[in-house]
Structure 1
Amino acid sequence: MKKPQVQQLLLMVVLFSFMVANSQNKSKNNAPLFSNFTYQGDDQVYKDNPLKSDEFYTPILQGCYPDPAITRKGDDYYMVCSSFAMFPGVPVFHSKDLVNWTDLGGVLNDVTQFNPHDTGISAGVYAPGITYNPHNDTFYMIVTAFSGGLNNIIVKTKDPKKGWGNPIKLGFGGIDPSIFFDDNGKGYIVHNDAPDNGKERYNGHRVIKVWEYDVENDKVIPGTDKIIVDGGVDPAKNPIWIEAPHLYKKDGKYFLMCAEGGTGGNHTEVIFKSDNPKGPFIPAPGNPILTQKYFGRDRKNRVDWAGHADLVKGPEDKYYGVFLAVRPNEKNRVNTGRETFILPVDWSGEFPVFENGLVPLEPKLKMPKGVSENKTGKEGFFPNGNFTFKDDFTTTKLDYRWIGLRGPREKFITTSKKGLTINPFDINIKEVKPTSTLFYRQQHNSFSLTTTIDYKPKSDKDLAGVVALQNEGSNYVFGITMKDKDYYIVLQKNQKTRRDAAVNSTIVGSTKIDIKKSIQLQIKAKGDEYNFSYSLDGVNFVTVGGPVSGDILSTDVAGGFTGCLLGLYATSNNDASPE
């Protein structure tokens, strides 16, 4: 064969290979384009309680932002929350006044160091602590990580706005650690743990331990651990789940604040006092110092489950406490999850007490003295109350409120002037694996979510749309797929009735459609009632299979620790077959 013929043949082979690869790539990456996303809150409590110029709303972080911890350096406040299997791990916020907060993203944002790829949604990381150490001008974030063999870890930074260092494994068990630095620079870690072997007296019996901490080498000092609380405030009453400890020092005395009673309806916050950081700690006679457990379930604008708190000196050295609580809907569901609230704290006496923390909580507070303006929802500050969040996805940097599950969002998304493309994984939303779903937390009991989607599935294995998800075994999938040669909108309900059971999937409703242009998808909730709708003309919405109950999106039905997540979803492993 002559040289020109060989070259021509090689060129044909290369072109053919490219065409085949390109065809396979198009088939494999049948990616939907999302645009014009709008989330709008519509809770009645905010309509009934408009803000005056000197007021702000609590919760300060609506939606699933539980287990808050807070610290201060000068006029800068930093707060962290639990994230479980959401990615990145441990969201961190900054404020100058405790009213206006900016979202700094997640502390654990390197998947090579924190990889929750095979954990249930309520695993991952939770109950972080954050402490500023003035002796070495360093911030410490300490947390329990239930993935990758990390267990209890600590990460450090000089400036939380510029990122964090690598996780450092700590040599102890238990959960809910926090770190405290004494006036002399010495460090201590306190955490929840099981009783010593053979000494557990009842189910829910836990202890609080303290360790001395080697600040130079970032490790606990072996042999220094000591149980400082055994059971809780009154051991004779068999108290359960003493946890979330924090150490403070005031007027030469040491104070240990903990949650007690479990994270549900009996949740409380209690306080102990000692002359030494290693005890003995004596409980305050007026415990609890914060709870909502004494009040009827039918009260208006009900807030419940209050506890798991942390204290900080606020503006003009007035103490404040951040804590978790829930806002149930009319069916006592907690679809918004455990949120971050704040209250002023009176520490004029021997022990701190949350102001109005032992009466039914109100939705708004007076701003701290010296704070002149509530800028929430403006100028980049995190919103609360009833607000509208819009995103056209045309910027290269997504808002930090958009998160992944069990892995980084960057693995499956691309943005352009047209919007957001999700490259589908061969993974179903029901699998305990990273899914190609971009999530936004449900932040109101009543809300609407609308987005535009351009998508034509190639087979019945392709689906793209929106999801409302409490966990991998409790969710709704609402999307576009195929059956035979026709396009359908389908609503699938996925529910696991027992932890050890398979997920039961049912088709709630489906409709054949003619896809000629982009389609709008909508989730609309009013308390427990959810509607999933679509529009072919951008004006008239048609509900599919609804209304449906949001019960499976609540922790009291689905279990676990998270709130409902609303997602933009694509998969090449669909099993929702239209009927």
Structure 2
Amino acid sequence: MSFTIDRRAALLAGGLTTLAGLSAQVKAAPAPGFDNQAAPDLGNGTFLNPILSGDRADPAILRDGADYYMTFSSFDAYPGLTIWHSRDLVNWQPRKPALFRNIGAVWAVSLVKHKGRYFLYIPVKAEQNDTFVIWADHIDGPWSDPVPLGLPKHIDPCHAVGEDGSRWLFLSGGDRVRLSEDGLSLAGTPEHVYDPWRYPDTWDVEGFSPEGPKILRHGDYFHMLTAVGGTAGPPTGHMVIAARSRSIHGPWEHHPGNPLVRTVSDKEAWWCRGHASLVDAPDGSWWAVYHGYRADFWTLGRQCLLDPVVWGKDGWPRMTGGDLSRPLPKPRGGQALPHGMALSDDFSAPLALGSKWAFFRPARDEASRVRVADGVLHLTAKGNAPVDGSPLLLTAGETSYRFECDIEIDPGATAGLVLFYDDRLYAGLGFDKDRFVTHQYGMERGRPAHTYGQALRMRITNRRHIIAIHTSSDGGQTWHRFDRGMEVSGYHHNVRGGFLALKPGLYAAGKGEARFRNFRFTALKD
């Protein structure tokens, strides 16, 4: 049976309390997707959130005729800003990354098409914070080199076009700045134009933090959605508020039903919901795309959620999906593309850098470290450990999974598998020709001797934050449990900061290179 336990729990939490009802939903569940990963489309005209699992924060969505494109904050992962494609808002496929040069930690971007050209406005946290712009004449690129705009004090830009054709970036804090006609430079200085609605001071939030403005022109109004309450912190913090104006120049009036979305209890299926955009579906229905944390799984990062929207007779939008724990009717029309991608890799094709694999904080020439030939990933060693070795990582969205790989090392090299949050918080196991090296709490700890020499197969199982590590000398026919178990539920933003996620991956440190074969990822039932 392909229906996972946590999906059953979500249904029950959402009010489906009869065995008959549960049985009907189980029968409606589709066959597992790639690597046994869950798919949002239940195959019976309904879907179950998230539409994209794992670390998919700050969704920026663009409708371009019959096509929908979406990208997310990629932070320190490069190549970054992978463009995802859909024709029905539920099933999504990765295309290509748009950003290859490391310009800093990429936060919430704006993806737009203006007069036939695609633009990405990219705020970054770096030694010098700024917002960059890149452009392309096709969604798959090639994208231009990043151009700095000179906005060191703001994040979360949103491109908007006024009723007079003027181009603007709306920014965090209720500010905006005018753009040049070509959209590649500023044509003014930031100005304050909007004071966001404030929640009662009895609510448990992380902070006011107005950010992520999203502008949509609908009917007689410009509508602005804004995130307040802080991105993480308490599960009840993040929320979506709305305002509208007849002119891009204001004044802005608050939605009478603010907030439109807010987690009100840690018993809900999704925590810290915010950063919403409005988009219409092929059937003319309206939807909100935003992010949220799965309850009790901060480690997975913020995942992409889809919420139905209705427009009232008063001209205001309202979100109607509740806590998103139950299946919802899919938008009608549009082609359902195969959803997601396989995370397993036999290295028989060029490495999917950006769409699947990504380096953590790479140097400018980091891609030169990898070479794929004859079913082998050759990874040149770097640094002394994952802390300074720019590991190669995947984005996982399951609460339980297993990943394994054959690893062979040169003399002087150390290599292994990791669960990696950032360069100060990771776990896993590596080995050199004589000893293991245990990675725990972002430190290199025990170094017991081994008899594997320079080759073994290694497996890490993450079952709801409980970690087991196994090794094998015969390609996985016989496994030996490594004598160090771990628990990683605290490897997340509320402990470490950074807004990242715990990701599976591999690394090579020291001298020479490591060779990886037959990487296999398997989603597990809880």
Same fold flag (TM > 0.5): yes
* Alpha-carbon distance between aligned partners in 2 of 1:469 and 1:557, rounded to the nearest angstrom: 14
* Alpha-carbon distance between aligned partners in 1 of 2:335 and 2:125, rounded to the nearest angstrom: 42
* Alpha-carbon distance between aligned partners in 1 of 2:467 and 2:248, rounded to the nearest angstrom: 50
Say whether the 8 Å CA contact 2:179–2:188 is kept in structure 1: no
Equivalent in the alignment of 2:440: 493
What SS is found at the alignment partner of 1:45? helix
How many aligned residue pairs are there?
468
Equivalent in the alignment of 1:360: 323
The aligned runs of 1:431-510 (5 Å cut-off) are 431=388, 435-455=389-409, 457-459=410-412, 462-482=413-433, 487-495=434-442, 504-507=443-446, 510=448
What SS is found at the alignment partner of 2:441? strand
Cα 1:217–1:46, aligned 2, differ >3 Å: closer, same or farther? closer
Indicate yes or no: 2:217 matched with 1:249: yes
Indicate yes or no: 2:117 matched with 1:166: no
Say whether the 8 Å CA contact 1:465–1:477 is kept in structure 2: yes
What SS is found at the alignment partner of 2:188? coil
Say whether the 8 Å CA contact 2:88–2:336 is kept in structure 1: no
Say whether the 8 Å CA contact 2:343–2:356 is kept in structure 1: no
Structure 1 residue aligned with 2:471, among 531, 534, 539? Answer: 534
Say whether the 8 Å CA contact 1:466–1:566 is kept in structure 2: yes
Deviations 1:64-106 (A, max 9, x none): 1211011112111111100111101222212222122221232
User: Aligned AA for 1:355?
Assistant: T
Equivalent in the alignment of 1:44: 5
How many Å apart are 1:217 and its aligned residue? Answer: 6.0
Deviations 1:217-258 (A, max 9, x none): 6323225x431223x303885970111001111122111110
Say whether the 8 Å CA contact 1:511–1:544 is kept in structure 2: no
Indicate yes or no: 2:136 matched with 1:157: yes
Say whether the 8 Å CA contact 2:92–2:337 is kept in structure 1: no
* Alpha-carbon distance between aligned partners in 2 of 1:364 and 1:544, rounded to the nearest angstrom: 40
What SS is found at the alignment partner of 1:477? strand
User: Aligned AA for 1:103?
Assistant: P
* Alpha-carbon distance between aligned partners in 2 of 1:217 and 1:557, rounded to the nearest angstrom: 38
Equivalent in the alignment of 2:359: 404
Say whether the 8 Å CA contact 2:88–2:332 is kept in structure 1: no
Q: Using CA pairs below 8 Å that are at least 6 residues apart, which structure has the higher relative contact order?
A: 1
What SS is found at the alignment partner of 1:176? coil
Say whether the 8 Å CA contact 2:297–2:399 is kept in structure 1: no
What SS is found at the alignment partner of 1:430? helix
Equivalent in the alignment of 1:278: 249
* Alpha-carbon distance between aligned partners in 2 of 1:140 and 1:452, rounded to the nearest angstrom: 41
User: Aligned AA for 2:174?
Assistant: I
* Alpha-carbon distance between aligned partners in 2 of 1:66 and 1:81, rounded to the nearest angstrom: 5
* Alpha-carbon distance between aligned partners in 1 of 2:335 and 2:3, rounded to the nearest angstrom: 27
How many Å apart are 1:524 and its aligned residue? Answer: 0.4
What SS is found at the alignment partner of 2:176? strand
Between 1:160-169 and 1:308-317, the stretch displaced more is 160-169
Equivalent in the alignment of 1:323: 290
* Alpha-carbon distance between aligned partners in 1 of 2:72 and 2:360, rounded to the nearest angstrom: 16
What SS is found at the alignment partner of 2:224? strand
* Alpha-carbon distance between aligned partners in 1 of 2:382 and 2:358, rounded to the nearest angstrom: 16
Equivalent in the alignment of 1:146: 125
Deviations 1:523-548 (A, max 9, x none): 10111211111112222222223321
* Alpha-carbon distance between aligned partners in 2 of 1:476 and 1:128, rounded to the nearest angstrom: 30
How many Å apart are 1:146 and its aligned residue? Answer: 2.3
Deviations 1:331-388 (A, max 9, x none): x3411111111122112442112222xx322264322111464632xxxxx25xxxx6
User: Aligned AA for 2:211?
Assistant: E
Equivalent in the alignment of 2:23: none
Cα 1:150–1:260, aligned 2, differ >3 Å: closer, same or farther? closer
User: Aligned AA for 1:308?
Assistant: H
* Alpha-carbon distance between aligned partners in 1 of 2:378 and 2:231, rounded to the nearest angstrom: 38
Say whether the 8 Å CA contact 1:394–1:420 is kept in structure 2: no
Cα 1:257–1:87, aligned 2, differ >3 Å: closer, same or farther? same
Please tell me the root mean square deviation across aligned C-alpha atoms, in Å: 2.6
Gaps of 5+ in 2: 10-25, 30-41, 513-526
User: Aligned AA for 1:413?
Assistant: V
Q: Percent identity?
A: 21
Equivalent in the alignment of 1:375: 338
What SS is found at the alignment partner of 1:155? strand
Give me the TM-score of the superposition, normalised by structure 1.
0.75
What SS is found at the alignment partner of 1:411? helix
Say whether the 8 Å CA contact 1:244–1:259 is kept in structure 2: yes
Indicate yes or no: 2:167 matched with 1:187: yes
Cα 1:366–1:510, aligned 2, differ >3 Å: closer, same or farther? farther
Equivalent in the alignment of 1:577: none
Equivalent in the alignment of 2:494: 556
* Alpha-carbon distance between aligned partners in 2 of 1:253 and 1:298, rounded to the nearest angstrom: 36
Gaps of 5+ in 1: 1-40, 117-123, 193-206, 377-381, 496-503, 575-579
Cα 1:355–1:174, aligned 2, differ >3 Å: closer, same or farther? same
Deviations 1:435-469 (A, max 9, x none): 352211222110011111123x524xx31111111
How many Å apart are 1:148 and its aligned residue? Answer: 6.8
Say whether the 8 Å CA contact 2:404–2:459 is kept in structure 1: yes
Deviations 1:297-333 (A, max 9, x none): 345xx221111111112212222211111113xxx34
Indicate yes or no: 2:24 matched with 1:86: no
User: Aligned AA for 2:192?
Assistant: I
Give me the TM-score of the superposition, normalised by structure 2.
0.83
Cα 1:73–1:488, aligned 2, differ >3 Å: closer, same or farther? same
Indicate yes or no: 2:312 matched with 1:351: no
User: Aligned AA for 1:325?
Assistant: G
* Alpha-carbon distance between aligned partners in 2 of 1:166 and 1:562, rounded to the nearest angstrom: 25
The aligned runs of 1:231-246 (5 Å cut-off) are 232-234=196-198, 237=201, 240-246=208-214
* Alpha-carbon distance between aligned partners in 2 of 1:189 and 1:67, rounded to the nearest angstrom: 16
Equivalent in the alignment of 1:125: 106
Which structure has the larger Rg over C-alpha atoms? Answer: 1
Equivalent in the alignment of 1:36: none
* Alpha-carbon distance between aligned partners in 1 of 2:293 and 2:167, rounded to the nearest angstrom: 33
Cα 1:233–1:553, aligned 2, differ >3 Å: closer, same or farther? same
Say whether the 8 Å CA contact 2:107–2:123 is kept in structure 1: yes
How many Å apart are 1:149 and its aligned residue? Answer: 4.4
What SS is found at the alignment partner of 1:557? helix
What SS is found at the alignment partner of 1:220? coil
